Amino acid sequence: MERLKNLTAAENEILDYLDGITDGKMHTQEEAAAHFAVSCGRIRQVVGKSMRKQIPLGRSKPLKDFLR
């Protein structure tokens, strides 16, 4: 899956792991936290930040059109 280029390598790595791109199996945030040796809260932060980077609110014309 191609992601935006403005995501960091760590963000991409975590998202790829969660989506199962690295090993063909989708993982939970708890599994990702154990795999990357961080807290579940940190995984949630990374996912949230990555999502905000991918869809800047108010700047996406297709999203605005869809929501109307």
Host domain of residue 62: 9-67
| Structural contact between residues 53 and 4, judged by C-beta atoms closer than 8 angstroms | yes
Asked if residue 42 belongs to a domain, the reply is yes
> CATH no. for residue 14?
1.10.10.10
**Does residue 3 sit within a domain?**
no
The reply to whether 2 falls in a domain is: no
Q: What is the pTM of this model?
A: 0.74
Look at residue 23 and tell me if it is in a domain: yes
> Counting beta carbons within 10 angstroms of the beta carbon of residue 46, is it exposed (0 to 12), middle (13 to 18) or buried (19 or more)?
buried
d(CA 16, CA 63): 24
- pLDDT top residue among 66 and 15: 15
The structural domain count of the chain equals 1
- For residue 1, being part of any structural domain is answered with no
Residues 8-65 pLDDT 10s: 999 999 999 999 999 999 999 999 999 999 999 999 999 999 988 877 656 666 666 7
Question: How high is the pLDDT of residue 66?
Answer: 72
